[in-house]
A = this chain, B = another copy of it.
Amino acid sequence: MSMPKTLLLSLAFFVLGSAAVSADTTDPLPSWNDTQSKQSIMAFVERVTRKGSSDFVPVSERIATFDNDGTLWAEQPMYFQLFFAVDRVKALAKEHPEWKTEEPFASLLAGDVQSVLAGGLESAVKIVMASHAGMTTEEFEEIVNEWLETARHPVTGRPYTEMVYQPMLELLSYLRANEFKTFIVSGGGIEFMRPWTERVYGIPPEQVVGSSIKTEFAMEDGKPVLRRLPEIDFIDDKEGKPVGINSHIGRRPVFAAGNSDGDLQMLQYTAAGEGPRLMLYLHHTDGEREWAYDRESSIGKLDKGLDIAKEQGWTVIDMARDWRRVFPAGS
């Protein structure tokens, strides 16, 4: 019995060699320039995944958490979920004639978003409740999906799900290829993100942590539903992020990435664990390809966090310097 040489070789290659060869020759982060930031990330991942390394981290402990707004997708000129809320209020306005004279709806319907933002948390909560509550969880998922299909970013004209950062998509894949479990830990609404995070980021709903409103179980026409109530359940921002991580994940991350002071406590909580850790801040320095903002910005303010990152030696990504490309090629 004999086999042709090429078949034998390809069989041997299949059994013995394919995984090792592809891992050695392909750059897992092609949209990153070959700077210190990329080297730090790759050195960390190699260190914690190499068997026998004193810094080896078992697979079950490889928890990586990512902020969303400004870290995985853009957040300018305004959080994308606010554009969704505005569009929802407009769509619902004909059922609510009282909004014509009631703030913050009157300003919003008149297109005066700045007045709405000036109304602070109280205005924001009113808009979120009006636009995000009342329906069932399944109806809300459908509303989000329909919005994403037609809504376009006001500056670039692209779908919001294409306003994601190509280098971060590669980083997520690279971590997962090294058996990290990737989570989102965002101040954004958990049910606003879940309908699309698996498709866009490869992150399933059960690995999404976010802010939430309360839901209530009810039997309606003999069918069990979860109805969304106009009541805040949890704010997953600042001190809330470690609380959300503990509630949903139940372990301390070994890798955490954010871009604003709202992520500081998550990074501090990550840093305080024993053994090797990587804390990453994305610094928006690229006014040409994206937006440049930090200490003075009303959205994604990065001030105290930037000082602490430098003090503690965390990895600070300089978008203009470290990224070869910002957004994915258009669809």
* Cβ contacts under 8 Å, A246 to chain B: 137, 215, 226
A155-183: contact bitstring with B at CB < 8 Å (1 yes, 0 no)?
A: 00000000000000000000000000101
Residue of chain B at shortest CB distance from A60:
B204
Q: A14-B15, A205-B251, A224-B265 are in contact. Are A198 and B242 (CB under 8 A)?
A: no
**Do the beta carbons of A205 and B249 come within 8 Å of each other?**
yes
Bound-state Cα–Cα, A215 to B242, Å? 10
25 A-B pairs in the complex with CB atoms less than 8 angstroms apart: A1-B2, A3-B3, A11-B11, A11-B15, A14-B15, A15-B15, A60-B204, A137-B246, A183-B206, A190-B247, A206-B206, A206-B207, A206-B248, A206-B249, A212-B247, A217-B239, A217-B242, A217-B269, A223-B272, A224-B242, A224-B268, A224-B272, A226-B269, A233-B247, A248-B248
* Cβ contacts under 8 Å, A5 to chain B: 1
Q: A60-B198, A248-B206, A249-B206 are in contact. Are A215 and B243 (CB under 8 A)?
A: yes
Scan residues 236-250 of chain A and give those whose CB is less than 8 A from a CB of chain B: 239-240, 242-243, 246-250
Q: For the complex, is A283 an interface residue (Cβ under 8 Å from B)?
A: no
**Do the beta carbons of B224 and A269 come within 8 Å of each other?**
yes
Bound-state Cα–Cα, A269 to B1, Å? 59
Shortest CB distance A209–B (Å): 9
Residue of chain B at shortest CB distance from A205:
B250
Q: For the complex, is A317 an interface residue (Cβ under 8 Å from B)?
A: no
Q: For the complex, is A146 an interface residue (Cβ under 8 Å from B)?
A: no
Q: For the complex, is A200 an interface residue (Cβ under 8 Å from B)?
A: no
A219-243: contact bitstring with B at CB < 8 Å (1 yes, 0 no)?
A: 1000110100000010000011011
